[in-house]
Amino acid sequence: MRRFLVAGNWKMNTTKESGAQLAKALVTEVPEENQAVEVLVCPPFPYLTTVGDIVNGSGVGFGAQNCYQEAPGAYTGETATEMLTDIGCRSVILGHSERRHILKETDANINLKVKKALDAGLQVILCVGELQSERESEQTDAVLNTQMTGGLEGVDAAAFDQIVVAYEPVWAIGTGLTATPDQAESAHQYLRNWLKEHYSAEIADSTRILYGGSVKPDNAKELLSQENVDGALVGGASLKPDLFIPIIQAAAELSAG
């Protein structure tokens, strides 16, 4: 059975102090021996060590929102995977729609980062998802296929214990619009089938596929109860303990049956 993962993407938000308070609130609420749900927070780079020190030894992990594909060297402004592992960071979000559409990252850029992060032993949360116009023109599956093919090119089956896929329809991110449970389930089914066709039935079965896009306490349970939804990547609601904790609890209740 796949273990739920609830990950918070803080994006370019918080201060050192508010991020520390948020991390402390989560540590208090998430039990140390938290087997039911994997919980992860992804703060901005300047606060990674502050948050990492707070969550260290707790049931909450911490990850980065991006990385660079080269070893440390002359790459002004970038962050190496070696630096992330050096501070105990265990995960990285790659291919987020804001990086694809605002920072103009291509599937080829993302693929280089995915391979480097995997080599570094990091858990990779690879985000894929269609624009509203692509959904309206029935291009969703084609877009997911392109992003999965491009993002995972050259990645072999052995790396899949480090890979999580996040389906994040771009039209639902930060907009308050949420995919219906049926829309989410159908995209997740497509992605699981994609993994089966391109890798194997075992990999399709064991790889977690998260849903992201305006997940809130009031829609979390219904989304997470879809057969192929294995957790949530949460933006806005991950910045408030009173919104994020109920999402973790929804996952915990579902995994308890």
- Binding ligand PEP (rule: CB under 6 A), the pick from 9, 58, 183, 207 is 9
Q: Least Å distance between CB 77 and ligand PEP?
A: 22
Which stretch, 34-42, 49-57, 79-87, 168-176, contacts ligand PEP (CB under 6 A)?
168-176
The identity of residue 136, as a single letter, is E
**Residue 163, phi then psi, degrees to nearest 5:** -110, 135
Q: What one-character-per-residue DSSP string does 160-217 give? A: GGGEEEEE--GGGSSSS----HHHHHHHHHHHHHHHHHHT-HHHHHHSEEEEESS--H
Q: Least Å distance between CB 245 and ligand PEP?
A: 15
Which stretch, 32-40, 118-126, 146-154, 167-175, contacts ligand PEP (CB under 6 A)?
167-175
Q: In residues, how long is the chain?
A: 257
- Residue 207's nearest CA partner among 166, 172, 177, 165 is 165
Q: Least Å distance between CB 101 and ligand PEP?
A: 12
Q: Least Å distance between CB 250 and ligand PEP?
A: 14
**Residue 74, phi then psi, degrees to nearest 5:** -85, 75
Q: Is 90 helix (H, G, I), strand (E, B) or coil?
A: coil
**Residue 174, phi then psi, degrees to nearest 5:** 70, 10
Catalytic residue among 38, 98, 130, 168: 168
- Residue 20's nearest CA partner among 40, 49, 57, 61 is 49
- Binding ligand PEP (rule: CB under 6 A), the pick from 168, 187, 228, 249 is 168
Whether 101 sits among the annotated catalytic residues: the reply is no
174 binds ligand PEP (CB under 6 A): yes
Question: For residues 216-255, which are near ligand PEP according to CB under 6 A?
Answer: 233-237
Q: Least Å distance between CB 171 and ligand PEP?
A: 10
**How large is the angle between the packed helices 217-224 and 181-198, nearest 10 degrees?**
40
Instruction: List the structure tokens of 24.
Output: 């402390």
- Residue 46's nearest CA partner among 59, 65, 74 is 65
Between 86 and 101, name the residue whose CB sits nearer to ligand PEP: 101
Between 27 and 170, name the residue whose CB sits nearer to ligand PEP: 170
Q: By rule CB under 6 A, what string of x and - marks binding of each residue 181-220 to ligand PEP?
A: -------------------------------xxxx-----
Residues taking part in catalysis: 96, 168
| Footprint of ligand PEP (CB under 6 A) | 9, 11, 168, 173-174, 212-215, 233-237
